[in-house]
């Protein structure tokens, strides 16, 4: 039994959720998101909450039950408050700046790296060594942050590169004489 799937997803005030078969649509102050659930689970809208239940007790249905409930919760949280991912840049001469809507990165290459964010994603640089990615879709925000980090991931000897703000780099010892 899924412990996560048993709990109904509460729909806060200011958010309207509509269920049409396997499709749930949430509209809120930040925007609108939809999620299409697998045929193994069913969605129902009951007294200010969305209830996700497996269609039968097969292993496949039970494995998709908790994931579907989490996806519903993510779209409701996204249209309510949105998601944010922070990145930090470490290294001499490494910096980030905004160039219109595009992100311009100086990461020790012979050229500047220019990243164009997808629709619905906002990137800001409060400091030259800090990047903030915000949006309403949790998956897209995480993917954009991963794409930026991929240009120059943190290396284990000096810790130079782009890393998540909460990430801890396991440092290695350098070579000895």
Provide DSSP, the chain: --HHHHSPEE--TT-EEEEETTEEEEE-SS-EEEEE--TTEEEEEETTEEEEEESSS-HHHHHHHHHHHHHHHHHHHHHHT-EEEEEEEESTT-EEEEETTEEEEE-SSSS-EEE-PPTT-EEEEEETTEEEEEES-HHHHHHHHHHHHHHSPPPTTT--EEEETT--PPP------
Residue 77: per-residue pLDDT: 94
Mean pLDDT of the chain: 92
Question: What percent of the chain has pLDDT above 90?
Answer: 79
- Taking only the tens place, the pLDDT of each residue in 163-174 is 999 999 999 998
pTM above 0.85, yes or no: yes
Q: What is the CATH number of domain 83-164?
A: 3.90.930.12
CATH superfamily of 3-80: Ribosomal protein L6 (3.90.930.12)
Domain boundaries, the chain: 3-80, 83-164
- pLDDT score of 1 more than 70: no
- Taking only the tens place, the pLDDT of each residue in 51-68 is 999 999 888 888 899 999
- Taking only the tens place, the pLDDT of each residue in 69-124 is 999 999 999 999 999 999 999 999 999 999 999 999 999 999 999 999 999 999 99
């Amino acid at each position: 039994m899924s412990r996560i799937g048993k709990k109904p997803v509460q729909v806060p005030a200011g958010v309207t959720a509509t269920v049409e078969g396997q499709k749930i649509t949430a509209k809120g102050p930040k925007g609108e998101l939809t999620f299409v659930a697998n045929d193994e689970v069913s969605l129902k809208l009951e007294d200010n909450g969305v209830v996700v239940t497996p269609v039968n007790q097969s292993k496949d249905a039970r494995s998709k039950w908790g994931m579907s409930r989490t996806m519903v919760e993510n779209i409701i949280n996204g249209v309510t408050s949105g998601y944010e991912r922070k990145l930090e840049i470490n290294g001499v001469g490494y910096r980030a700046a905004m160039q219109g809507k595009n992100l311009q990165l100086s990461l020790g290459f012979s050229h500047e790296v220019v990243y164009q964010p997808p629709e619905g994603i906002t990137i800001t640089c409060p400091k030259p060594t800090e990047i903030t990615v915000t949006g309403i879709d949790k998956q897209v925000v995480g993917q954009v942050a991963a794409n930026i980090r991929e240009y120059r991931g943190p290396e284990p000897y000096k810790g130079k590169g782009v890393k998540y703000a909460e990430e801890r780099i396991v440092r290695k010892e350098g070579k000895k004489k």
